[in-house]
Amino acid sequence: MPTLAELNRLGSALTSEQLIHLKRLVPWLGLLADLSFSDLLLFVPAEVESKKFAVVSQIRPTTGQTLYKDDHVGMKVSDIERPLIFQSYELGHTVEGEVPIKPSNRLARVTSIPVVFGPDVIAVLSREVSPDFLEKRDFGELERNYLETFARFSEMISAGLFPLRDEDVNLDEVPRVGDGLLVLDKGGRIEYISPNALSNLHRIGVVGNVTGRKLEHLKLGKEVISDLITSTVPVAHEIEQSEVIVQAMAVPIFDDTGPRETIILLRDVTELRRRDRLLLSKDATIREIHHRVKNNLQTISSLLRLQGRRLESFEAKIAIEESVRRIRAIALVHEALANVSVDDVSLFEVAHLLARTAQDSFTSKERPVEFSVHGDVGLVPSVVVTQLAVVLNELLQNAVDHAFPSDSPLVDGLAGTVEVHLSRPEANTLLMKVIDDGIGLPPNFNIEEQRGLGTSIIRALASSELGGGITMRRRADSSGSEALVQVPIAPAE
């Protein structure tokens, strides 16, 4: 279904509220196509002045043969090519007839149903089926009930009564009619039940023939039954018995005078829910693993700090402290992963935590430095964030150690600043800048010639592991220096 902006480019004059109404209708088209044994195409006015319509949605039936092998979404038609669409739109009522359908020019039985929202016709739903299919197929009780139900939905659509504005069901899970159909009369008595619906009831313990019985006598739960019968909007419940789960979705059928009957779609979702639970269990296990990894890294850090206190060598103490900070950077990523249900992490949040840690660990009253992070690039794969976290940790420490050395006086008594800027200059590229206003790098500084452990780690992770590059240079426009880390990454969602 196109967005409002895309429809505007097609020349449509639909408002946002009208578009929302159409988007509510689209998830139900699969059910309607099955009930009608027909292809359904949704037409909206495009290039109104030149009398053209565009197909914005197309659905094929699972209960019958499709007329179309091709996808017609985006196709525009004129009033000459599709006269019934224009008649239905202009007259505001359903129009039927047989017309040749391009490109094959085969005859199709077409029923054009106006989609009404408020006082206006905003689109036309076209039901299209081969005349041979309707004439040669021997329709039994199931087919007759399907077609009668479709006719009632068509009346509601053309009266502006469907879909409902305040429906509260997951439209991504609207069942198809083949899952099972049950029709209730106004009093809650079962008028018709399809074979698949009956099988689904048997799976949850309902035995015997149910036609003619009231739904409340099936012992499916008082609250569930009451909700399914009395609700004036589509509702869905899941009924679980003996490790079998059946989804019951009730859709009221009504006209201007009020409710007429209710259809209930019954779908066995046992396997789907079993997979959902397995995924939830797997997700919880993975998050627990990240939590334990974080705790283990914190334990290692504590052991290293304890070992550092026993050392007398100043160089060894510094090496231990640097190792602890690197481990802490990795632990921060696992902490973030332990709190989300996906394998991606917000790089902005990790960078913010590292900056705050640097603020607490690297600075003092005598040497104040303020850290800030700018630019949210969304979720980034955890394997990338883990390595960027270590790189950023090294860059922040370098900024404090080298941009603001202890023997360098403060400028006008002001604190130094270190800024981290995150951006995606291209969809598949991530750029991380670390900028300071310190004394700046030497004019001839070349990171490739540096042999320190910190710069070696940065080069190895940015270039070898992440397949990107690192540049460190003196800022040309002012004092201070900047480090630019650019790495390839999958496009943002």
pLDDT exceeds cutoff 90 at 91: yes
pLDDT digits (tens, 9 = 90+) for 135-147: 766 778 898 999 9
Task: Say what the pLDDT of residue 103 is.
Answer: 62
229 and 353 housed in the same domain: no
328 and 354 housed in the same domain: no
Question: For the chain, what percent of residues have pLDDT higher than 90?
Answer: 21
Q: Give every strand in the sheet of 190-193, ordered side by side.
A: 190-193, 181-184, 258-268, 244-255, 235-241
Per-residue tokens: 68:
């179309």
User: What's the average model confidence in pLDDT over 88-93?
Assistant: 94
Question: For the chain, what percent of residues have pLDDT higher than 70?
Answer: 87
Would you say residue 163 lies in a domain?
no
Where a domain ends, among 220, 238, 268? 268
Q: Which residue has the higher pLDDT, 156 or 165?
A: 156
194 and 110 housed in the same domain: no
Place of tokens 């696992």: 334
Q: Could you give the CA distance from residue 338 to residue 361 in angstroms, rounded to a whole number?
A: 24
Would you say residue 318 lies in a domain?
yes
Give me the sign of the Cα torsion angle 300, 305, 306, 307: positive
210 and 292 housed in the same domain: no
Q: Give every strand in the sheet of 469-474, ordered side by side.
A: 369-374, 416-426, 429-436, 481-488, 469-474
Q: Which domain holds residue 35?
A: 4-140+147-158
Would you say residue 276 lies in a domain?
yes
Task: Say what the pLDDT of residue 35 is.
Answer: 94
Q: Which residue has the higher pLDDT, 320 or 86?
A: 86
What CATH number did the domain enclosing 248 receive?
3.30.450.20
Would you say residue 178 lies in a domain?
yes
Q: Residue 477 — very low, low, confident or very high, per pLDDT cuts 50/70/90?
A: low
pLDDT exceeds cutoff 80 at 248: yes
User: What's the average model confidence in pLDDT over 121-140?
Assistant: 84
Number of structural domains found in the chain = 4
- 3-class SS at 349? helix
61 and 192 housed in the same domain: no
12 and 122 housed in the same domain: yes
Q: Residue 127 — very low, low, confident or very high, per pLDDT cuts 50/70/90?
A: very high
pLDDT digits (tens, 9 = 90+) for 384-427: 888 888 888 888 888 877 777 766 555 455 678 889 999 988 87
User: What's the average model confidence in pLDDT over 272-297?
Assistant: 74
Task: Say what the pLDDT of residue 159 is.
Answer: 92
What CATH number did the domain enclosing 43 receive?
3.30.450.280
Would you say residue 164 lies in a domain?
no
351 and 483 housed in the same domain: yes
Lowest mean pLDDT among 118-122, 126-130, 158-162, 226-230: 226-230
Q: Which residue has the higher pLDDT, 237 or 367?
A: 237
Would you say residue 165 lies in a domain?
no
**Helices of type H across 363-436:** 382-398
Q: Residue 95 — very low, low, confident or very high, per pLDDT cuts 50/70/90?
A: very high
Task: Say what the pLDDT of residue 39 is.
Answer: 95
Residues paired with residue 240 on neighbouring β-strands, in sequence order: 245
DSSP state of 64: S
What CATH number did the domain enclosing 401 receive?
3.30.565.10
Q: Could you give the CA distance from residue 58 to residue 26 in angstroms, rounded to a whole number?
A: 9
235 and 293 housed in the same domain: no
Where a domain ends, among 326, 341, 356? 341
Would you say residue 417 lies in a domain?
yes
Task: Say what the pLDDT of residue 439 is.
Answer: 81
Q: Residue 493 — very low, low, confident or very high, per pLDDT cuts 50/70/90?
A: very low
Average pLDDT, whole number, for the chain?
A: 83
Q: Could you give the CA distance from residue 112 to residue 104 in angstroms, rounded to a whole number?
A: 20
263 and 349 housed in the same domain: no
pLDDT digits (tens, 9 = 90+) for 331-373: 777 777 676 666 788 888 888 888 888 887 767 676 788 889 9
> 178-192, 292-306, 343-357, 444-458 — which one is most confidently predicted on average?
178-192
Counting Cα atoms < 13 Å in the Cβ hemisphere of 492 gives: 13
42 and 73 housed in the same domain: yes
- Rounded to whole angstroms, what are the CA distances from 164 to 58, 111, 123, 386? 21, 22, 16, 47
pLDDT exceeds cutoff 70 at 383: yes
Q: Could you give the CA distance from residue 313 to residue 318 in angstroms, rounded to a whole number?
A: 9
Helices 314-337 and 270-309, axial angle in degrees (round to 10): 170
Where a domain ends, among 325, 341, 357? 341
313 and 382 housed in the same domain: no
User: What's the average model confidence in pLDDT over 158-186?
Assistant: 82
pLDDT exceeds cutoff 70 at 23: yes
**CB 104 within 8 Å of CB 18:** no
244 and 286 housed in the same domain: no
